[in-house]
Structure 1
């Protein structure tokens, strides 16, 4: 019996060895076929799947928005009401002041009536000269204490949000351009092109808003109202009227005095002639008497 076991043991070992090799080869072939099928399987991507790929694709490290510590950005607006005694003089003085602060005039208007003269000016001044120009206005001559209302709007948070959105939209634009270069189907190209147009339009809107806010921060806005009230207007009018009336009255009195003098002289003329003749006769008579003696 032991002799029988020793005889068949080597044969069993050899049989098990070949069975093991055969199973491994079969497993490798099945794995290889599965891999080839997954690689060679054609891609069928719909436009909706393209949009999903665009939205789900994460930003790379270089494309992610960089968090910065922004400085405070404030939009300053000043509303000033000036009550003056001479509108034209105050307006000219104001128009001479703002160019010294590198400012510029946006618009100007005037309104003349029988009761008052009023006007409005909108002026932009660099933000670094805001306080200096505001102080200078209060020193203008011929004005009462002005009414001043200053407001400041902090747009720092909005600017940070806009720049973050801009970075995201620009990264989206780059991804869409890359997908457009890789797309083969017309449907994919149309879908990507539509997304690209919308993204580029949003980029332009964001850039326009950033540019507008930057200009508002860099230049403060002054809304200045100039008002010459009725009493000041009447005072100037009354003074001019009095001067005119005084001049006219003086001229009339002068002419009247000359006329009166002439009339008086004419009235005295007969008496003057009579007295002159009597004096001449008396002189001649006295002279005749002296010669007779």
Structure 2
């Protein structure tokens, strides 16, 4: 009997630490989870390799992420033909026109076009667009390497995904409403960061795959344009400029008719006043 009591007492003492560890709340576990999982995920996306495996494992190539942009500005002698040529060129190289803004005046026609073209055909498209221009005013090409930012953001997103999975496991072990709400609050913040990182990665992928071309072309009809056509057409443009100037002058006079009418009334009023004043000062004729 005495031996049975001692055996039961020893068993209870041995099980006491295990019971205490089992009764620890889930909230204590998830407070340390994010830091541990993030550090582990950033350090390596997989389990660490042994030295022999690390020597034999080939290095994964990292493709460069380069965003290309071009700014083009040139004049043309035939606006409509140039517009059609640009549309055909963009279509030929697999691109598309993202936006277009055209402004037409009596002196100049102008069009601003935002073009998206695959990075593989970017240089050929730029050369074709400027090839048929009358005179190129501006041509600049820039390249931005976002490889480092892309790799860093991708690693951080994978780390957050690993933390998210761990929190999902902790959520399944939650024992009460308080623990559930705390874990869900952490999950919400992590998932927002993941969505933000995904959006940024998609943005960079799209701009790497499709380069940007900001194109502006114009046709000037003023007589002073050094790129104007031949003598006969320049004579016609001069006549047109003179006619437009006359019309502008006539329209200016018409728009100022209230001022003109007011001046006429003031002139008549002053003239009559002067006439009356003179008639008063003139002595009346005396009949003899």
Structure 2 Cα separation of the partners of residues 241 and 75 of structure 1: 44
Q: Is the 8 A contact 1:106 1:122 kept in 2?
A: yes
The verdict on how the C-alpha distance between 1:241 and 1:116 changes in structure 2, with shifts beyond 3 A counting, is closer
Q: Which of 126, 145, 149 is matched with 1:154 structurally?
A: 145
Q: Is the 8 A contact 1:138 1:146 kept in 2?
A: no
SS of residue paired to 2:178: helix
Higher normalized helix content (fraction of residues): 1
The verdict on how the C-alpha distance between 1:171 and 1:86 changes in structure 2, with shifts beyond 3 A counting, is same
* TM-score, length of structure 1 as denominator length: 0.65
Q: Would you say 1:189 and 2:169 are equivalent positions?
A: no
Deviates more, 1:37-46 or 1:143-152: 37-46
Deviation at 1:145, TM superposition (A): 3.3
SS of residue paired to 2:167: helix
Q: Would you say 1:89 and 2:68 are equivalent positions?
A: no
Instruction: Tell me what 1:217 maps to.
Output: 208
Q: Is the 8 A contact 1:74 1:155 kept in 2?
A: yes
* TM-score, length of structure 2 as denominator length: 0.66
Deviation at 1:221, TM superposition (A): 0.6
Structure 2 Cα separation of the partners of residues 241 and 144 of structure 1: 20
Q: Which of 96, 99, 121 is matched with 1:107 structurally?
A: 99
Q: Would you say 1:130 and 2:110 are equivalent positions?
A: no
Q: Is the 8 A contact 2:164 2:191 kept in 1?
A: yes
Q: If you compute each CA radius of gyration, which structure gives the higher value, 1 or 2?
A: 1
Q: Is the 8 A contact 1:64 1:167 kept in 2?
A: no
Instruction: Tell me what 1:70 maps to.
Output: 62
SS of residue paired to 2:135: coil
Deviates more, 1:128-137 or 1:222-231: 222-231
The verdict on how the C-alpha distance between 1:241 and 1:159 changes in structure 2, with shifts beyond 3 A counting, is closer
Query: Please, which runs of 5 or more residues in structure 2 have no aligned partner?
Result: 47-58, 241-288
Matches within 5 A, 1:1-293: 32-41=11-20, 43-45=23-25, 47=27, 49-58=28-37, 64-65=44-45, 68-140=60-132, 143-229=134-220, 230=222, 231-232=224-225, 238-240=234-236
